[in-house]
Amino acid sequence: MPLVNLSPHDVKLASDFHAYSLIAKFSLLRPPVDLFEHHINSSWGLILPATVGLLDPKHILIHLHSAEDFAKAWSRESKIFYNRRYLLLRWTADFTKRNDSSLSAMWLRLPGLPLPCQNPAILEIIGNSFGRFLRLDERTKKMKHPMAPRLCVEMDLAVKLPEVVVIAIGSEVPFHQKIEYDLRIGYCTFCHLQGHQESICRRKQSQAPPQAVEPSTSSLQGRQRANG
């Protein structure tokens, strides 16, 4: 029987090639790949055309060719194509068609952030303190909404999202900066799917053993009279 023995280094090199890859997951009515590829390359504002291919009947692989294009694609807010909603996931080395990655591109605001901290370089440092900074929105870039600068950060939904970030400026007393998320996305650590929490997971509930029903007081009294 043929045997292929790959070193961890070989696998890492192969995985690094897909560092800028995303996955579009269609639960129902996946569109033709060629149409979806045209949509991506004509409307996503990419610098270089993405390479798009079918992974399986529900998942389409989107390979970007630069960090800038990856950040732009990953942080997209619209995820509808031909009236079909899809989930955008980041490809990881442990990807399987049964599980969603727990990583998500989260748009958030920092209300009341001091103006000196709204420099793009500082906003990137703040974003990297609790995730992986992706980009600023255009209004924030142009200082059009200093009341609450808005940025997109890749975050792990499997852990509790922070409500504040502590910022220290030199020897000044650190302050707690509030974080407001545009949308909170659930992630179930039981079925490993995005869109709901474990507490309301239907799969978990269907596998739970039936609970024993305790007899009521009236039925116990009836049995005692019958036996008496």
DSSP string across 134-181: EEE-HHHHTTS-TTS-EEEEEEETTSPPPSEEEE--TTSPPEEEE-EE
- Within 10 A of 193 (CB to CB), how many other CB atoms are there? 18
Q: Residue 35 corresponds to which tokens in the numbers above?
A: 């149409």
> Looking up tokens 């255009």, which residue turns up?
138
Rounded to whole angstroms, the Cα distance separating 204 from 198 reads 8
Domains of the chain, by residue range, sit at: 8-90, 105-201
List pLDDT tens digits, range 72-129.
Answer: 999 999 999 988 999 999 999 888 888 999 999 999 999 999 999 999 999 999 999 9
Rounded to whole angstroms, the Cα distance separating 61 from 119 reads 35
Q: CA–CA distance from 117 to each of 35, 110, 120, 158, 168 (Å)?
A: 43, 10, 8, 29, 11
Quick one: how far is CA 129 from the chain centroid?
A: 17
> What is the model's pTM?
0.84
The residue among 157, 153, 101 whose CA lies nearest residue 128 is: 153
Which numeric CATH code is attached to 8-90? Answer: 3.30.70.330
Q: Is the pLDDT of residue 13 over 90?
A: no
For 32, residues 6+ apart whose C-beta sits below 8 A from its C-beta are: none
- pLDDT over 90 for what percent of the chain? 66
Task: Answer positive or negative: Cα dihedral of 86, 92, 93, 99.
Answer: negative
List pLDDT tens digits, range 114-164.
Answer: 999 999 999 999 999 999 999 999 999 999 999 999 999 999 999 999 999
Q: Is the pLDDT of residue 211 over 60?
A: yes
Which pLDDT does position 112 carry in this prediction?
Answer: 97
Rounded to whole angstroms, the Cα distance separating 228 from 225 reads 5
